[in-house]
Structure 1
Amino acid sequence: MNLHFRADQRGSNQGVSFAIDPALLAALWRERHPSGPPVAHTFRTRYADRWVRFHSLPGSKRYPESEDEYAIVLDRYNAILDKLFTGTDVFVVTMDWSDTPTGPAGYPTPRPMLHPDGIHWWTESDQDDPDPEFHSHTRLYADRRRWSRGCIDGLLRAVADEALVEVFIADTELRRIHHPYDGGADVILATSPERDGVRAQHADWLSSHPAGL
């Protein structure tokens, strides 16, 4: 499936971003991932046969506390992202949520500043509770850009601080996904053997937990 897009120049530290057709991107997601919506925290269980988790600091430390530790976090994130996406375009996806489908975000985040060209492309609503006050609407925003090391370091640093959650980066066929979070990243590869190869290359970044968590 081809996705139509147009070029928009961004800041020099962000490179060039391309607006996407949200309907086409949603259709591509449903074609590639009929098991469920693009909600990043669900990827680990839905794609367990192709999943690996890498920790972003030695000793499985969760939050960086110095510029040296931020440098380690960004280097580990970018090393895996380079492995997955060098020489290709990627979709960068960010999230906010609201108690109404089109209302203001339920809490302030730096998402609009760090992902200014993200186009709203998906709303995943939870309206199971009979009380509308407990309904929530997860809204995803995406852009397309050429991957280059460091092009989303602002986003990644915010993720490391838990100022942003549910961020993910995917190839344009949505077969490989990198979901960074505070403390590490969940990585979904196209096949189990590919996952095994990437995992072996960075074995010292793995958890000692028997389930790889």
Structure 2
Amino acid sequence: MATQPILKSWERFFGGVPPVGFLLRQKLPEQWLRFHTLPDAKRIPEGEWEVAEVLQRMAQISAEVFAPQAQVALWMTTFNQPRPSLPKEQGADFEAITPPPPTWADAMQDYFDVQHMTLWVRPQAWDWEEVAPLFRDVSLDQLDYVTAFSVQTGSAICPYDGGIDLFLPDAQKRAALKSKFKSWLPEE
């Protein structure tokens, strides 16, 4: 698998910012849009009903960002040694990027022990059913950082425990999504 074209595409849209939601949010606030995945801004789902609600919201939002079968790259970044560096059921198709780009390690060193950083990437055609287990694990705080990225449009989705951050270069698209999913927006 050739990771260089994916890295070049990422850098074209995001420069030296690594594929980690909170860092993208800091560097690109004009492209950022956040939605909560549970009512009342609840962070971690409890019970199957809440997990289903999280996944349903994430599926609806991601369907607005990525067309079916669009070319995307899935990034996974982990920093914590006790957690598995990659889920076993997902591991076969991901490729480790070692070492990570130096600018990425520099950007993260104030937040994490980058010596324990592991970065993985997998190119694929967008298919919600394939990424749902990863997004679910992030929402349950069982996996650190996952980012889905369109190599053509530069749109990115970063789930977290409590919501989903979008990074969209198109202001009209952001406005349309704010309107469509306004009940899921954080209170201002």
Coarse TM-score class (shorter-chain normalised): 0.7 to 0.9
Trace 1:30-109 onto structure 2 (pairs within 5 A).
30-87=11-68, 88-97=70-79, 106-109=81-84
Counterpart amino acid of 1:65? E
Change in Cα spacing, 1:128 to 1:188, as seen in structure 2 (3 Å) is closer
CA RMSD of aligned residues (A): 2.3
Give the Cα–Cα distance (whole angstroms) in 1 for the partners of residues 120 and 38 of structure 2: 28
Task: Indicate if the aligned counterparts of 1:26 and 1:121 stay in contact, CA closer than 8 A.
Answer: no
Specify the SS of the correspondent of 2:144: coil
Q: How many residues in Structure 1 have an aligned counterpart in Structure 2?
A: 179
Residue of structure 1 in register with 2:185 after alignment: 206
Partner of 1:119: 95
Unaligned runs of 5+ in 2: none
Give, in whole Å, the separation in 2 of the partners of 1:26 and 1:115. Answer: 21
Query: Is this contact kept in 2: 1:110–1:163, CA < 8 A?
Result: no
Greater strand fraction, Structure 1 or Structure 2: 1
Instruction: Give the match's secondary structure for 1:26.
Output: helix
Structure with the bigger percentage of helix = 2
Q: Which residue of 1 aligns with 2:137?
A: 158
SS at match of 2:128: coil
Does 158-167 or 85-94 show the bigger shift? 85-94
1:196 aligned residue: 175
Question: Does structure 2 conserve the Cα–Cα contact (< 8 Å) formed by 1:25 and 1:121?
Answer: no
TM-score computed with the length of structure 2 as normaliser: 0.85
Give distance in 2, aligned partners of 1:33 and 1:110. Answer: 24
Q: CA deviation at 1:73?
A: 0.3
Where relative contact order (Cα < 8 A, 6+ residues apart) is larger, the structure is 2
SS at match of 2:45: coil
1:77-112 CA-partner distances (Å, limit 9, x unpaired): 111111111221221111123xxxxxxx62223723
Question: Displaced runs of 4+ in structure 1, greater than 4 A?
Answer: 126-129
Q: Distance in 1 between matches of 2:133 and 2:44?
A: 16
Amino acid of the residue matched to residue 95 of structure 1?
A: T
